[in-house]
Homo-oligomer: A and B are copies of this chain.
Amino acid sequence: MNHSSDTWILAAQCPSRLGTVDVVTRLLKEWRCYITEQQSFDDRLSQRFFIRTAFHPEGGALDADAFQAAFAARAAEFGMTFELTAPGQLTPVVIMVSKADHCLNDLLYRYRTGQLPIEIRAVVSNHPDLEPLAAWHGLPYHHFPITPETKPEQEAQVWQVIEESGAELVILARYMQVLSSEMSEKLAGKAINIHHSLLPGFKGAKPYHQAHAKGVKLVGATAHYINDDLDEGPIITQGVEPVTHADTPEDLVAKGRDIECLTLARAVAYHLERRVFLNDKRTVVFAR
């Protein structure tokens, strides 16, 4: 979305307890910060509280370090973790792909036109195919082939790129490889995958072919954080597309591309705008 150039975001969560909203809003008032949009939610099941506040300092400037120090003292009392995001802040990102280019193409377009507040540091793939696309956008492309035998080494190479690039978010834009448990754990909460089905339906390989065999009338896509359980990570958002008896499995693959692109891009935008909170195996998403 088109954030105003002076809008800061404060996102926080903690166990449910009286005063959780007050501790946020009082500080903002004291610091003369005007709240333009706020959403909070208390999950009675997990007994956790989540809040997202968009604000701008009345004077225009905010000493982020001092503000965070001041807030940390009070937040500690509530066991509250928080993240402050400055206006215009770009998140460093690594994108992982395989051979299919539609999601990468879509993300690169949004990146190039400033629609996503990201700075793409690298594109990583187990295939060489998408290098020209990355090159046209002036991005480094790392080709790390993978076989069952070389998986540990390949993942180490991928991890090195992620670490050295300083990426805070990894986007699996149809990477098509199952990550090892170790890799998944390292990336927990900071890697978003797009799966081409309405999870939990049609997990695993070739979901459109599964969908065709089953004769469903809707296909879809699911963007989720990865965890160490394949296609079971916390869901951020899902999209859906009607299909008919006349669609072959290949037609489903083709029809699904658009909804995969849109669903992944929306999930990434939500994440970057600090609208998404992990809540055990589920997410809280303060969507717009």
Contact = CB atoms under 8 A, between A and B. Distances in A.
Q: How many residues of A sit at the interface, in one of the four size bands?
A: 35 or more
Contacts of A254: 1-2, 115
Contacts of A202: 200
Contact of A251 (B2, B105, B213, B220): B2
B201 A246 contact: no
Contact of A25 (B25, B32, B44, B101): B25
A185 interface: no
A40 interface: yes
How many copies of this protein are present in the complex? 4
A82 interface: no
A2 B34 contact: no
A245 B41 contact: yes
Contact of A234 (B3, B215, B282): B215
Interface of A is mostly: mixed
Nearest to A250: B2
A65 interface: no
Contacts of A248: 2-3, 44-45
A283 B245 contact: yes
Interface in A236-271: 236-238, 240, 244-248, 250-251, 254, 257-258, 262
A20 interface: yes
Nearest to A36: B42
Interface string A68-106: 000000000000000000000000000000000110010
A270 B22 CA distance: 26
Contacts of A113: 101-102
B217 A238 contact: yes
Interface string A142-183: 000000000000000000000000000000000000000000
Nearest to A255: B1
Interface in A1-56: 1-4, 16, 18-22, 25-26, 28-29, 32, 34-45
A214 B222 CA distance: 12
A18 B56 CA distance: 10
User: Which 7 A-B residue pairs are closest in the complex by CB-CB distance?
Assistant: A215-B282, A201-B201, A22-B29, A36-B42, A245-B284, A38-B40, A2-B250
22 contacts: A2-B248, A3-B250, A16-B34, A25-B26, A36-B44, A37-B41, A37-B42, A37-B246, A39-B39, A102-B113, A105-B109, A115-B254, A199-B214, A200-B214, A214-B281, A214-B282, A215-B282, A215-B283, A218-B238, A244-B288, A245-B279, A247-B288
